[in-house]
């Protein structure tokens, strides 16, 4: 084979190899990394109620007979009031928290309603209401009633505390509270009283 033809063949071979090298040369590879969403923030726990306190009021009538027991517990939502009463007569009875922890018959020693904001009495009073105001109790024919209330804005040992220097008490009246008339809803005589006594710490 003539030298010129052999040289041309080798040149063509080298050119083909060069084209293959270019076509199969290094390429940039992109790797997709999955994006993970940020975790939600941790749930914030509500603040603990002041001291997580519990108290009891043993209710007695005008002659000293026990007619019920009421417990009060600080919770996240307010002051939880639970009680059982009996022997107070059929029908409606007003119940209020009073500003002094004394229960000497005829229970005037319990003072006025718990009212740190100096407002008038009654949920329906435009100038009300006392923080010691509560819904009425309706005693059934059996004479025994179990009830439960949530009183907001009041605590045992925190803001608007009931357990302070002169304490507080619970009064049940002989008649229904009209939720309007100041200072006690025209609710009649004080029929039963119990001093709010803080329970021992657990």
pTM of the model: 0.74
Q: Which residue, among 57, 62, 65, has the nearest Cα to 104 in the 3D structure? A: 62
Residues involved in catalysis:
96, 98, 113, 121, 130, 133, 173, 190
Three-state SS for 60?
A: strand
Q: What is the pLDDT of residue 23?
A: 44
Q: What is the pLDDT of residue 49?
A: 52
Q: What is the pLDDT of residue 141?
A: 82
Tens-binned pLDDT, residue by residue, of the chain (202 aa): 444 444 444 444 344 434 444 444 444 555 554 545 555 555 445 455 555 789 999 999 999 999 999 999 999 999 999 999 998 988 999 999 999 999 999 999 999 999 999 999 999 999 989 999 999 999 988 889 999 999 999 999 888 999 988 999 999 999 999 999 999 999 999 999 999 999 876 5
Instruction: Give the span between the Cα atoms of 189 and 103, in whole angstroms.
Output: 14
Q: What is the pLDDT of residue 13?
A: 38
* Domains defined along the chain, listed by start: 50-198 (2.60.40.200)
Phi, psi of 91 (to 5 degrees): 110, -165
Are residues 188 and 55 in contact, defined by beta-carbon separation less than 8 angstroms? no
Distances (CA, A) of 168 to 27, 39, 53, 66, 198: 85, 48, 15, 18, 11
CB atoms within 10 A of CB 35: 6
Q: What is the pLDDT of residue 190?
A: 97
Three-state SS for 192?
A: strand
Are residues 94 and 142 in contact, defined by beta-carbon separation less than 8 angstroms? no
Q: What is the pLDDT of residue 51?
A: 57
Instruction: Give the span between the Cα atoms of 104 and 106, in whole angstroms.
Output: 6
């Amino acid at each position: 084979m003539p030298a010129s033809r052999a040289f041309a063949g080798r040149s063509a071979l080298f050119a083909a190899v060069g084209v293959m090298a270019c076509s199969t040369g290094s390429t940039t590879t992109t790797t997709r990394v999955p994006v993970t969403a940020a975790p939600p923030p941790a749930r914030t726990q509500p603040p603990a109620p002041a001291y997580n306190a519990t108290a009891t009021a043993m209710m007695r009538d005008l002659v000293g007979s026990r007619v019920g027991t009421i417990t009060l517990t600080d919770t996240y939502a307010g002051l939880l009031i639970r009680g059982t009463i009996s022997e107070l007569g059929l029908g409606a009875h007003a119940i209020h928290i009073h500003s002094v922890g004394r229960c000497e018959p005829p229970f005037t020693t319990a003072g006025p309603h718990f009212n740190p904001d100096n407002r008038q009495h009654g949920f329906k009073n435009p100038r009300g209401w006392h923080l010691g105001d509560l819904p009425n109790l309706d005693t059934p024919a059996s004479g025994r009633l179990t009830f439960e209330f949530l009183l907001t804005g009041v605590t045992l040992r925190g803001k608007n505390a009931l357990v302070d220097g002169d304490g507080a008490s619970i009064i049940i009246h002989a008649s229904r509270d009209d939720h309007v008339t100041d200072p006690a809803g025209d609710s009649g005589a004080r029929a039963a009283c119990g001093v709010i006594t803080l329970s021992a710490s657990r």
